[in-house]
Chain A
């Protein structure tokens, strides 16, 4: 079964600092991977997606993620954090087979706090 692990339930950075949110997935061929952001009391907004094209994926709001097959990782980064980036971030993998076809498997989430 597909699984997604996000290392670190809470990450705290200063405004202007590098943001790094970690995500590892269980091996699946081909993986479709996503990062979503969730602001308080809201639904999920897609930040970016990997669909087996370029391994470095650029998303909205200055975020990007690199797919590394050898490490089964899809870490999310942003060079300079802004206060508005404070939210919860979820990594997800798409299940392309079996009885749970169409299912997105989510990680546990990482809450990003940005300090002034």
Chain B
């Protein structure tokens, strides 16, 4: 069974640029959630994708957008990067309806905005 994978591991961008982060869900999982973890804080929910549609969103501006593909992998896109976007971005996969709502996390992508 393959776990959740994310790419790239690290990324450095400058303010105003755009970035795309990628996530492959665990085998058998059809739902992907994205979280932002700023330094010294707990993860904050960005949004969730189920069946290629956004299925819930946290308090993040529209410049944070996403996609889910037929194979359930997902992308997180951030436009017009700001310094405060520097964080660890975590992807988690799950399968709703299994009764335990457990989400399995990937290793994360560390984004630094200069």
Structural contact, B104 and A102, CB atoms closer than 8 A: no
A96 to B44, CA, bound (A): 16
Structural contact, B105 and A109, CB atoms closer than 8 A: no
Interfacial residues of chain B within 49-91, with CB under 8 A of chain A in the complex: 50, 55-58, 90
Q: Indicate the size class of the contact surface on chain B.
A: 20 to 34
Contact of B56 among A32, A46, A102 (CB under 8 A): A102
A101 to B103, CA, bound (A): 13
Type the 1/0 row for B29-65, where 1 means its CB is closer than 8 Å to any CB of A. Answer: 0010101000011111100101000011110000000
Neighbouring B residues of A107 by C-beta, 8 Å: 42
Structural contact, B41 and A109, CB atoms closer than 8 A: yes
* Most chain B CB inside 10 Å of its own CB: which residue of A49, A92, A101: A101
A45 to B41, CA, bound (A): 16
Structural contact, B42 and A108, CB atoms closer than 8 A: yes
| A42 (CB) vs chain B CBs: closest residue | B107
Q: Indicate the size class of the contact surface on chain A.
A: 20 to 34
Task: Give, as a whole number of angstroms, the nearest-CB distance from B77 to chain A.
Answer: 19
Structural contact, A34 and B102, CB atoms closer than 8 A: yes
- Interface assignment of A67: CB less than 8 Å from any CB of chain B: no
- Interface assignment of A43: CB less than 8 Å from any CB of chain B: yes
Structural contact, A103 and B45, CB atoms closer than 8 A: yes
A89 to B35, CA, bound (A): 16
- Interface assignment of A55: CB less than 8 Å from any CB of chain B: no
Structural contact, B55 and A43, CB atoms closer than 8 A: no
Structural contact, B42 and A103, CB atoms closer than 8 A: no
Structural contact, A103 and B41, CB atoms closer than 8 A: no
A49 to B110, CA, bound (A): 27
17 contacts between A and B (CB under 8 A): A32-B101, A42-B108, A43-B105, A43-B106, A43-B108, A44-B43, A44-B92, A45-B105, A46-B102, A90-B43, A92-B42, A102-B50, A102-B96, A104-B43, A106-B43, A106-B44, A107-B42
Other A-B pairs, 13, CB within 8 Å; known A32-B100, A43-B108, A51-B101: A42-B107, A43-B105, A43-B106, A44-B90, A99-B56, A99-B57, A100-B58, A102-B56, A103-B58, A104-B43, A106-B43, A108-B41, A108-B42
